Structure 1
């Protein structure tokens, strides 16, 4: 829901069809509402991270200022005030901005500390499938008795620090390379908007994956890798669109 909220709102800024523009904004607001109702605090970083990346990728001053004001408002509202604390959903979301007071966060940090002591001599990890409670179907051992509660911790336990660094490097390469294409190589406006939306959505999901082990779950896993494919092939699509424009009759 967080990724949908970011993607559809960004798309609405670049689409030329007026009806689609308002439809995308409506879908974005519904997705944001679904995110709030879900109660998943870790997912809040998806739209926030997506907006932050949108500011970095954009050259339009109006969008940059608007995005910055939006981020500042959200931070001040949740982190610095107690407005609407009587609302259960708002109060729950507000705790995400004070993790040091959150019992769930403290337990996760304690589990990561225990795993770190065990993994210090395992640079290539415990083995495929041997991380978290779900790994008990393969074997019962120390790493399958401790919840990982994070995609990156899960990767670290299975493949070690070597595998984790490689995994993160690949993800950052896709984000960085696609950002370069978007900012300096893509000419078609609507295509640029689509790629920006994918990049921002993917970046938000990557940030949220630190607090939740969902990155490879259905349907997120499919969406992530489809987005990565489109992002690295952005220049090819831009070239095809340019050639089609030349062939169109005047």
Structure 2
């Protein structure tokens, strides 16, 4: 019980910290910082979605809820902040396109698979299941934090050099993620889930979709950069958070352990693992 309370406490402290930083010098609505309203909405949506998910013991709409939360908080920020520029709308559009694409992809995948095995040992316990939804709220707030801070600052003007570089990185990362997911989906349709994919982008990186994810959020941070000042600079933790989450916590480590359990004794898997980087794609095929 104490461990669970500690985990919730850490999440709330991190959420409050990034909310304080992102709200600094930003727009307000009825006396409330718009950034704070967006952060509150992010957590509220998770807790509302948890109720039917717990009653039905399902994780089917977990990822879809995450995507809809991104859309909700980003466009709430746009709606409540006066004088939005074209750069702000472009930033909001980039995140929205990413959320729509990834959210629909993950929802269709779990509908086809029937479940997400990561939740098997979590769903039966209310506190642990609630924590995963709360953690998703924090994920949204931190990951989108620099974009929310920029949009609610009201200071976004021309993209400039950092913005153009950021947009280029976002397009590159988004394209890599889309192509990698598409290649893996086609491979699974042909070969099933019992074989590992080692073709296309997956011949250059064992997790090219995660590489694309990290690159596109770095692009978002660069696009937001010119509008930030003061404590808002702390929201630039966004791409670092994505990198750490995917490479040290819930992304690559979980998938690598799962792959080792399934194919660890397979010489073809061992050869593939030896020649293919985990994340950064090798240039030569």
TM-score (norm 1): 0.33
TM-score (norm 2): 0.30
